[in-house]
Chains A and B, each alone.
Chain A
Amino acid sequence: MSEAPRLIDAEVADRVLARALAAGGDFAEVFAERRGGLTMAIDESRIESVQSGSEEGAGVRVIEGATTYFAHVDGLAEADLERAAAEAASALRGERAEPRPLEAVSVAPQPIETRPEDVPATRKAEILRELDERGRAAGGDVVQLLASYGENRRQVTVANSEGLLSGDDRTRVRVATQVVARREDRIETGAETRGGHRGFELLSEDPGEIAESAARKALGLLDAVAAPTGSMPVVVGGGFGGVLFHEMTGHGLEADHIQKGASVYAGKLGAQVAQPLLTAYDDGRMPNEWGSDSIDDEGTPTQKTQLIEGGRVTSYLYDRLRAGRDDVASTGNGRRESFRHLPIPRMTNTYIAPGEAEPESIIAEVEKGFYAVSFGGGQVDPATGDFVFGVSEGYLIEGGRVTSPCRGATLIGNCLEALNAIDAVGNDFWMKTGICGKGGQSVPVGTGQGHVRISAMTVGGTEL
């Protein structure tokens, strides 16, 4: 089993932490990171935008009372780290505090079979060409295909004044495809992704399928009718359909929003917010899943956290700082985009656990409604609970059957109402990859679920 390399020695980390606490502070931490990656794309059947980068640096934070002092620098030499520590401490005027002796914790990184760096760039280009051919072959109306390949590796080492010294070695690979289809004046697009906290083995299983799936979506939309408008039952598909729960509930359970009273879930711990059929988790330990890490960006091992059990709120999502305020343990959700960012409570892989309903019957029970197979994305204001989702693949449900494809649909509503209106959860289940933005930081997250039905939700289309 491999181990994460230490980017800074214990002795150096110890000196940097002592420097950070030289003018006082309750807590100090140094987060060191080396990151590198390769991206390339195929567009107009030509490989382009090939780029490769390497960055390293560190962020040092000192917490004193309610205030966090943070500084980050490029470079991992001791002088760079000292500079960041001195800068973070520069506004403090207290008595020197002593960090505890460091104790190294060894956490196994997620297993990687084939390191992407060991695969020649030409092989990655070949895969993109295969995507291009397969997507274009899916139908004569496919006029364009854009596919991208990305790999990155983040090695991190965290040390703090409470004696923690840990690290992680994270490798992610992701492929995304967008297809444009055209028939006369109608132009439609379809997208598909595959990603994981995995090595190049992610693409061992028929990568061309990714492009075919994107093409199918675009081609299907060529026959689409304008989306309906108004309140109706909505069946949401599995996988990326889970972004609905991510936005509607996951963000509202992040402890920073809760503690500021800027979440509709504040004060709802233990409260029944959904029907008993709903149970949901955040799980940063799912093997090789896109949103998984072995430790979070504060060194806390990731865990499986039950968020909703039988419709009741069972936990919020915590980083160290917010956990300390509520006098609970961190749930391992302190994540940051890079050494240039402060950790905040973030989701990892968030999903609605499989229920008992057959997906077919969830749809068959709807007389007239909307079937949202997948979304382009969504957005929520956790304070008001207002959310909106752009539907990328949707259909009408008429007489219990899926009929015409629809385009241009948006789902809109309020979290607590919509969550409570989930009246069926399917026994099918799968995960999809997403990129979540919050407070100016983007992190990889997984979303998942089976088919889920909301008894009433507003569909905002163009067909009045």
Chain B
Amino acid sequence: MSSAGDPAEWAARAVERAVAAGAGEAEAFASEEATREVRVHGGEIESLTAATRRGVGIRVWNGGRVGYGFGTDLSDVGVGATAERAVEAARAADQDEFAGPPAAAGEAPALGGLSDASLAEWPAGRVAELALEIERRALEADSRVVGVEQAVYVDSADRVAISASTGLSGGYEATSCYGYLQALAEGDSGRETGLGFGMARGPAGLDPAEIGREGAERATAMIGSRKPATRACPVVLDPTVAASFVALLGGSLGADAVQRGRSPLAGMIGETVAGDAFVLSDDGLDPDGIASAPIDGEGVPHRRTPLIEEGRLMTYLYDTYTARRGDAGSTGNAGRSGYRAQPSVSTSNLVVEPGRLDFSELLAEAGEGVFVTDVAGLHSGVNPVTGVFSVGASGREIDGGELADPVREFTIASDLVSMLKAVRETGATPRWVPFGGSVSTPPLLIAEMAISGA
């Protein structure tokens, strides 16, 4: 496609233009992203997408007032107009004594392994073949798999640069890809669906057979499912479900939510918030984590931050603003979803430490209960301020320490802190899950939760 631009040059020019437009201090984030997406269905390519997107976001500070502008026009005139929009936006904002640009920090750590050459080397035809193979493998895995709603491959190659009037500058390049499918199985009780997914830095790192097999297994496992009995019992969360809850927990650990009184973990530093088995850290440098990068969304070096150890809450996560406000240091947790959004506190990679029990030992330890393989309604069934949740779930009964009948159409309900305190054991084998954040977690055994079913 087009000749590659230079995000570092765009960012530097944007800062200059913002200062010229009247900004006291300015910061710019510029990115260029090349993406591909293949969707396949029924052995045919349904769609093939190739695209580039580029843009710049400019944050300005004028006497404690913050404004933000973004745009796709990277010409001198376009960047100038974006800078003016940011300065104009700041006029409408109220003063905030803690607002200010990130200071030029020390050298960011060198971080290898963020890019994989196979991404550029594999042409569209080859990644399309990979998506077709994901679908084929699911169909071959089990005769009860009658179709695949969609198998999808997506990759992207990103280049990011950040520059600020304080002298801060930084940037990095990274590639990533993922593949997933939704398998359809047919049973007496009707259609069942199952998600299989995998992620890597490049297509060579994906295992289409494993993705297809997982989708098939999850769909066929639900055949013949019924509602479980309403009760309080031990619950085992599989890694995909555990990761969804850990990602929710990550939101409560952001200093922004805490300082504004919107976190169930506010005021709990040093207190017991989890069972001893639950050890959690945020690690923006873990080479296997998809959110890894040398710097965060405002150019502050990433690091590893222990969050929960021996059941106790160690710290919250900070960006520059919340660090000033909380009289702490930034933990390098300014997240950024692209040039269109201002940075805000967010987790990088959340890592739950694996325990000592393999999966069968974890089930044996549970004895009787429910193994939850899927949850639905997380965006509507959770109150992030209080941590109270009630979400739809499906999975398998655990009977005599082993997996038994499939169950569906029930809810699991608790609150985040009660659930964390009830974590009795963690499994030995972790998995990276990208839903709602980048999380690595093993399965978790919760001593007791409320199940609402039949």
Contact = CB atoms under 8 A, between A and B. Distances in A.
Given A69-B47, A121-B91, A384-B190, A53 B340 contact: yes
Contacts of A180: 261-262, 385
A55 B46 contact: no
Interface string A441-464: 000000000000000001111101
Given A68-B46, A261-B147, A460-B411, A48 B66 contact: yes
Interface string A54-94: 11110000000111111111110000000100011011000
Contact of A52 (B69, B382, B414): B69
A377 B377 contact: yes
Interface string B382-405: 110110111110100000000000
A171 interface: no
A410 B413 contact: yes
B93 A390 contact: no
B48 interface: yes
B149 A53 contact: no
B111 to A, nearest CB: 28
B385 A187 contact: yes
A125 interface: yes
Most chain A CB atoms below 10 A, which of B1, B88, B410: B1
Contact of A189 (B69, B227, B385): B385
Contacts of A72: 49, 51, 53
A190 B340 CA distance: 28
Interface in B411-454: 411, 413-414, 450, 452-453
A49 B99 CA distance: 11
B149 A67 contact: no
Given A66-B46, A340-B53, A57 B69 contact: no
Contacts of B66: 48-50
Contacts of B93: 40, 47-50
Contact of A260 (B147, B192, B230, B260): B147
B91 A460 contact: no
Interface in A148-201: 180, 187-189
A19 interface: no
B124 A40 contact: no
A423 interface: no
A390 B88 contact: no
A388 B377 contact: yes
A48 B94 CA distance: 6
B77 to A, nearest CB: 12
A54 B380 CA distance: 31
B68 interface: yes
B377 A68 contact: no
Interface string A322-352: 0000000000000000001010000000000
B337 interface: no
A125 B88 CA distance: 13
B218 to A, nearest CB: 12
B452 A379 contact: no
Nearest to B95: A46
Nearest to B66: A48
A378 interface: yes
Contact of B52 (A67, A73, A227, A229): A73
A9 B146 CA distance: 48
Nearest to A227: B390
Contact of A71 (B51, B147, B182, B260): B51
Contacts of A392: 380
Interface in B60-108: 66-73, 81-82, 85-86, 88-94, 96
B64 to A, nearest CB: 10
A51 interface: yes
A376 B73 contact: no
Contact of A410 (B2, B70, B381): B381
A29 to B, nearest CB: 13
A413 B51 contact: no
A144 interface: yes
A66 B1 CA distance: 25
A87 B411 contact: no
A414 B409 contact: yes
Nearest to B386: A187
B382 A390 contact: yes
A230 interface: yes
Contacts of A38: 89
A389 B377 CA distance: 6
A389 B409 CA distance: 12
B126 interface: no
A144 B381 contact: no
A402 interface: no
A9 to B, nearest CB: 20
A230 B411 CA distance: 10
A73 B381 CA distance: 37
B379 A379 contact: yes
B410 A460 contact: yes
B356 interface: no
Interface string A367-382: 0000000011111010
Nearest to B449: A462
Contacts of B342: 49, 51
A51 B88 CA distance: 9
B191 A384 contact: yes
A408 interface: yes
A69 B39 CA distance: 11
A151 B394 CA distance: 39
Given A48-B66, A51-B89, A229-B452, A377 B47 contact: no
Contacts of A2: none
A412 interface: yes
Contacts of B53: 57, 72, 74, 340
Nearest to B256: A43
A46 B99 CA distance: 13
B45 interface: yes
Contacts of A88: 50
A56 B48 contact: no
A390 B380 CA distance: 5
A383 interface: yes
Interface string A398-433: 000000000111101110000000000000000000
Contacts of A269: none
A122 interface: yes
A261 B49 contact: no
B408 interface: yes
Nearest to A88: B50
Contacts of A409: 390
Contact of A386 (B2, B94, B261, B376): B376
A464 B449 CA distance: 11
Contacts of B383: 189, 408
13 contacts: A49-B342, A67-B44, A67-B48, A70-B47, A121-B91, A143-B261, A383-B182, A384-B193, A388-B380, A392-B380, A408-B388, A408-B390, A464-B231
Given A71-B49, A412-B411, 4 more contacts: A44-B260, A70-B49, A389-B377, A410-B392
Interface of A: 38, 40, 43-44, 46-57, 65-75, 83, 87-88, 90-91, 121-122, 124-125, 143-144, 180, 187-189, 227, 229-230, 257, 260-262, 264, 340, 342, 375-379, 381, 383-390, 392, 407-410, 412-414, 458-462, 464
Interface of B: 1-2, 41, 44-55, 66-73, 81-82, 85-86, 88-94, 96, 124-125, 146-147, 149-150, 182, 184, 190-193, 227, 230-232, 260-262, 340, 342, 376-377, 379-383, 385-386, 388-392, 394, 408-411, 413-414, 450, 452-453
Ranked nearest first, the 6 interchain pairs of A and B with the lowest CB-CB distance are: A460-B411, A388-B392, A390-B380, A377-B380, A388-B377, A51-B68
